[in-house]
């Protein structure tokens, strides 16, 4: 047993939810507030609290830990007590010098730690503690996995801590170090204690309590977007952070089991609302479109907004039309749609756009903390933007250089997906941080992030044609922004979501149970999930899933990925453009079937005869089935067993329907259990929207990847 196996959730007796709005703290993950030491023996080895108490340079943060409690009940335990008990914590401890500097900037000269309000003290304390639960605390050898991104687990405020590695070549020898949240340098690492690791930092970690639009406005080099956000009203719409109605409900705090599913699931304690933005700097607008430079007046207000808007409108109406031309706040207005396309629903750090886990050729190493240094093939996913008529955005991470690109479209060698053959659309590179006058400014907002881009982002006809000419394969999680914001995907944490949690899952019956699973929870034991995770639905389920929008009008084949086994069930699938009026799409899908030796599916293992393989594939399609893609593998960390020919042919794709679809319209799938069983499983992993030019092989046969 891991000696760090206790977590904050196991240390108490009362439930707490600290919900604070903008300008204060984000709310805590579910936790208990009093430490019960009667159930276990405290180690005699030095604890985190011991180390902070016994080292004079940490006396101020220790005072804060003594004062601040874990939660807001009268009998809540101070953090110093929590961090003296067994657990598994990562601490970024500021020195007294760092504390003094921060307190002076906050309260003025002459103020000390004793002058901090409880809210201020809590913000300092919560921001420097990560509860790693049952997993090992983060030590410096693991930092490389999260450089230019964020740690998978958030702090006690459920805020992400970003990490960057910097080099100072002016020193001899060259000084390489890690920086947190853009301003806090780690000066000493890996002080090991009985309940985690302490890393010394030279500045207090204090994430901004402002919303995404406010951080963009403060950046100093993004005034064009600031003017557009205010003119269109998006500066007031992109501020949501927490669903207060969900906070008011009772939620189970103890992990629970579900029949037929290995593991325990914690109910989502909060419903976070957030956004991720991609923003051009002012010089990009000037260079590419000749947009006038923003003129700043008294108090930093932009005085030439009308001139900026007029220049932008002249450029964007060719892509978005002239509907509602006189009303910038109307979400059908071209300028409004242009702005909306810069923001995704859901909070994502730079290293959370794509999930590296089970792609072909990728050897991930540790199932819980996969290595992020060597990738094999380009990995991508698709997301939905904000707005009345949301649009599709593709995000790709290229394997060779690890760069992130928006709307990049490329083709690959059909015999070796590690080799790119053509770049159809270059796309736009995304920067991990915003550099202003040689210094990184904060892009980690209370309700999300923004990232600079070096080209103008617009879904014009060229971009639509490129995206609409390729197979669109999206992981189920990327169209559930509330799941992304909650962090269980990046955290790889089993989670139970009650009905109504997801905006894109509608009309769920009372018997519908939604569970998030990740292969790492069982140590990468050979699951067959795309990108390592899945959304499993249990019970007498009946629910509607809103599909992401298509980028271009045309005929699309809609497919779903399946991993069949005897625990699955059978479901009837429906399709349509109204969630309350959907029509059956074919016969019920039996997810208990294997493909091998099954005439209803027609799966036959590939041979060396490619013409025979193609004939077998055609036969499967005639039955409404396809083999799994070659691009992902058994989740064993080796990356060398693709699932096209795996086992008895139970890793499949089901062709649901072929339909004409148009951008700007909403489409839905309904899944209803066809069995009167409360324990049958509905497996939901990935879906595909495949244009006619691809699935019919108009230009060339669809590849096997």
Distance, in Å, from the CA atom of 349 to the CA atom of 340, rounded to the nearest integer, reads: 19
Whether 357 contacts 364, CB under 8 Å: yes
Mean pLDDT of the chain: 91
Band (pLDDT 50/70/90 cuts) for residue 371 is very high
Q: How far apart are the first and last CA of the chain?
A: 40
> What is the total residue count of the chain?
705
Three-state secondary structure string covering 311-350: HHHHHHHHHHCCCCCCCCCCCCCHHHHHHHCCEEECCCCH
Q: Can you say how many angstroms the Cα of residue 660 is from the centroid of all Cα atoms in its chain?
A: 30
- CATH architecture group of domain 471-705: Sandwich (2.60)
Band (pLDDT 50/70/90 cuts) for residue 28 is very low
Measured torsion, CA atoms of residues 621, 622, 624, 626, in degrees rounded to the nearest 10 = -20
pLDDT at 7 exceeding the cut of 50: no
Q: Which two tokens stand for residue 114?
A: 């004793």
Q: What is the pLDDT of residues 58-90, one digit of tens each?
A: 999 999 999 999 877 777 899 999 999 999 999
**E strand spans, 148-272:** 149-150, 162-168, 175-180, 184-193, 196-201, 256-258, 261-267
Whether 444 contacts 468, CB under 8 Å: no
In the chain, pLDDT over 90 holds for what percent of residues?
82
Distance, in Å, from the CA atom of 123 to the CA atom of 271, rounded to the nearest integer, reads: 21
Whether 57 contacts 197, CB under 8 Å: no
Whether 129 contacts 7, CB under 8 Å: no
Quote the pLDDT of residue 522: 85
Quote the pLDDT of residue 307: 98
Quote the pLDDT of residue 699: 78
pLDDT at 1 exceeding the cut of 70: no
Band (pLDDT 50/70/90 cuts) for residue 472 is very high
DSSP at 479: G
CB count, 10 Å around CB of 363?
13
Query: Tokens 């607008």 appear where?
Result: 285
- Cβ burial of 697 (10 Å; 0-12, 13-18, 19+) is exposed
Quote the pLDDT of residue 31: 41
Quote the pLDDT of residue 632: 95
Q: Which two tokens stand for residue 648?
A: 């008895």
Quote the pLDDT of residue 506: 97
280: phi then psi, degrees, rounded to nearest 5? -75, 145
> Could you tell me whether strands 448-453 and 275-280 are parallel, antiparallel, or unpaired per DSSP bridges?
parallel
Band (pLDDT 50/70/90 cuts) for residue 93 is very high
Whether 240 contacts 452, CB under 8 Å: no
Q: What is the mean pLDDT of residues 449-471?
A: 97
Whether 682 contacts 541, CB under 8 Å: yes
CA dist 258 → 66, 515, 521, 532, 695 (Å): 39, 9, 15, 20, 38
Q: What is the pLDDT of residues 515-556, one digit of tens each?
A: 999 999 888 778 999 999 999 999 999 999 999 999 999 999
Band (pLDDT 50/70/90 cuts) for residue 172 is confident
Report the predicted TM-score, pTM, of the whole model to 2 decimal places: 0.90
Three-state secondary structure string covering 54-96: HCHHHHHHHHHHHHCECCCCCCCCEHHHHCCCCCCEEEEEECH
- Cβ burial of 38 (10 Å; 0-12, 13-18, 19+) is exposed
- Cβ burial of 675 (10 Å; 0-12, 13-18, 19+) is middle
CA dist 384 → 27, 271, 341, 388, 478 (Å): 26, 18, 9, 11, 8
Return the higher-pLDDT residue of 151 and 2.
151
Whether 447 contacts 216, CB under 8 Å: no
pLDDT at 16 exceeding the cut of 80: no
pLDDT at 435 exceeding the cut of 50: yes
Query: Tokens 């649901």 appear where?
Result: 656
Quote the pLDDT of residue 33: 44
pLDDT at 160 exceeding the cut of 50: yes
Quote the pLDDT of residue 5: 35
Distance, in Å, from the CA atom of 178 to the CA atom of 212, rounded to the nearest integer, reads: 25
Which of 573, 566, 574, 499 has its CA nearest to residue 537?
A: 499
Q: What is the mean pLDDT of residues 93-108?
A: 96
Q: What is the DSSP string of 343-363?
A: EEES---GGGSS--SSBTT--
Query: Tokens 């799938």 appear where?
Result: 669
CA-based max dimension of the chain:
82
Distance, in Å, from the CA atom of 488 to the CA atom of 496, rounded to the nearest integer, reads: 10
534: phi then psi, degrees, rounded to nearest 5? -155, 160
CB neighbour list of residue 626: distance below 8 Å, 6 or more residues apart: 559, 617, 620, 652, 653, 654, 655
Whether 301 contacts 289, CB under 8 Å: no
State the DSSP H helix or E strand holding residue 635, giving kind and residue range, or none if neither: none
Quote the pLDDT of residue 260: 86
Q: Kindly list the domain boundaries of the chain, sorted by start residue.
A: 8-201, 212-243+273-345, 471-705
pLDDT at 12 exceeding the cut of 70: no
Q: Which two tokens stand for residue 563?
A: 């991993």
pLDDT at 437 exceeding the cut of 60: yes
pLDDT at 40 exceeding the cut of 60: no
Q: What is the pLDDT of residues 258-291, one digit of tens each?
A: 988 989 999 999 999 999 999 999 999 999 999 9
In the chain, pLDDT over 70 holds for what percent of residues?
94
The domain covering 8-201 belongs, at the CATH homologous superfamily level, to FAS1 domain (2.30.180.10)
271: phi then psi, degrees, rounded to nearest 5? -120, 95
């Amino acid at each position: 047993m891991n000696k760090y196996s206790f977590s904050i959730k196991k240390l108490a007796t009362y439930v707490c939810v600290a919900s604070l709005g903008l300008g204060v703290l984000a709310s805590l993950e579910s936790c208990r507030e009093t430490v019960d030491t009667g159930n276990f023996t405290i180690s005699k080895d030095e604890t985190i609290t011991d180390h902070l108490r016994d080292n004079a340079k940490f006396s101020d943060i220790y005072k804060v830990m003594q004062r601040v409690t874990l939660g807001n009940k009268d009998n809540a335990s101070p953090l110093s007590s929590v961090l003296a008990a067994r657990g598994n914590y990562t601490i970024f401890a500021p020195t007294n010098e760092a504390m003094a500097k921060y307190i002076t900037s906050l309260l003025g000269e002459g103020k000390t730690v004793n002058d901090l309000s409880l809210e201020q003290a809590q913000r300092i304390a919560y921001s420097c503690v990560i509860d790693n639960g049952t997993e090992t605390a983060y030590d410096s050898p693991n930092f490389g996995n999260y450089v230019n991104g964020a740690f998978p687990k958030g702090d006690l405020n459920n805020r992400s801590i970003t990490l960057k590695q910097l080099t100072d070549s002016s020193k001899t020898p060259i000084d390489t170090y890690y920086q947190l949240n853009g301003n806090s340098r780690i000066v000493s690492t890996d002080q090991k204690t009985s309940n985690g690791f302490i890393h010394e930092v030279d500045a207090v970690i204090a994430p901004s309590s402002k919303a995404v639009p406010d951080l963009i406005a403060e950046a100093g080099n993004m005034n064009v977007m600031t003017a557009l956000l205010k003119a269109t009203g998006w500066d007031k719409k992109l501020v949501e952070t927490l669903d207060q109605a969900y906070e008011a409900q009772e939620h189970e705090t103890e992990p629970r089991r579900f029949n037929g599913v290995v593991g325990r699931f914690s109910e989502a304690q909060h419903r976070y609302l957030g956004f991720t933005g991609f923003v051009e700097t002012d010089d990009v607008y000037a260079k590419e479109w000749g947009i006038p430079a923003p003129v700043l007046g008294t108090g930093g207000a932009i005085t030439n907004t009308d001139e900026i808007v007029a220049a932008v409108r002249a450029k964007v109406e060719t892509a978005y039309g002239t509907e509602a031309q006189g009303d910038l706040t109307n979400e059908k207005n071209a300028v409004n749609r242009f702005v909306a396309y810069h923001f995704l629903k859901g909070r994502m750090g730079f290293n959370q756009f794509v999930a590296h886990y089970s792609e072909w050729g990728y050897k991930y190493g540790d199932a819980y903390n996969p290595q992020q240094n060597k990738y094999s093939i380009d990995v991508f996913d698709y997301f939905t933007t904000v707005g009345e008529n949301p649009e599709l955005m593709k995000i790709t991470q290229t394997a060779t250089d690890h760069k992130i690109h928006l709307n990049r479209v490329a083709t690959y060698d059909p015999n070796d997906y590690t080799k790119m053959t053509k770049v159809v659309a270059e796309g736009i590179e995304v920067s991990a941080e915003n550099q202003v006058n040689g210094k990184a400014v904060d892009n980690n907002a209370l309700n999300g992030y923004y990232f600079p881009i070096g080209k103008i982002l617009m879904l014009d006809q060229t971009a639509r044609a490129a995206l609409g000419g390729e197979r669109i394969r999206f992981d189920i999680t990327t169209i559930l922004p509330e799941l992304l914001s909650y962090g269980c995907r990046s955290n790889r944490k089993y989670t139970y979501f009650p009905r109504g949690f997801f905006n894109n899952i509608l009309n769920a019956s009372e018997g519908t149970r939604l569970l998030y699973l990740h292969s790492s929870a069982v140590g990468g034991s050979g699951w067959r999930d795309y990108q390592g995770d899945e959304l499993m639905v249990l019970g007498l389920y009946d629910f509607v899933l809103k599909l992401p929008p298509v980028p271009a009008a045309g005929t699309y084949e809609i497919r779903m990925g399946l991993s069949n086994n005897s625990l699955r069930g059978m479901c009837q699938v429906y399709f349509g453009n109204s969630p309350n009026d959907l029509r059956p799409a074919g016969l019920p899908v039996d997810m208990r079937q294997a493909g091998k030796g099954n005439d209803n599916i027609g799966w036959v293992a590939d041979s060396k005869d490619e013409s025979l393989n193609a004939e077998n594939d055609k036969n499967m399609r005639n039955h409404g089935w396809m083999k799994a893609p070659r691009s992902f593998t058994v989740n064993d960390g080796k990356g060398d067993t693709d699932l096209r020919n795996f086992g008895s042919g139970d890793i499949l794709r089901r062709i649901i329907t072929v339909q004409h679809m148009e951008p700007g319209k909403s489409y839905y799938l309904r899944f209803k259990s066809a069995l009167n069983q409360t324990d049958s499983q509905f497996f939901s992993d990935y879906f595909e929207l495949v244009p006619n030019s691809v699935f019919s092989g108009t230009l060339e046969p669809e590849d096997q990847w």
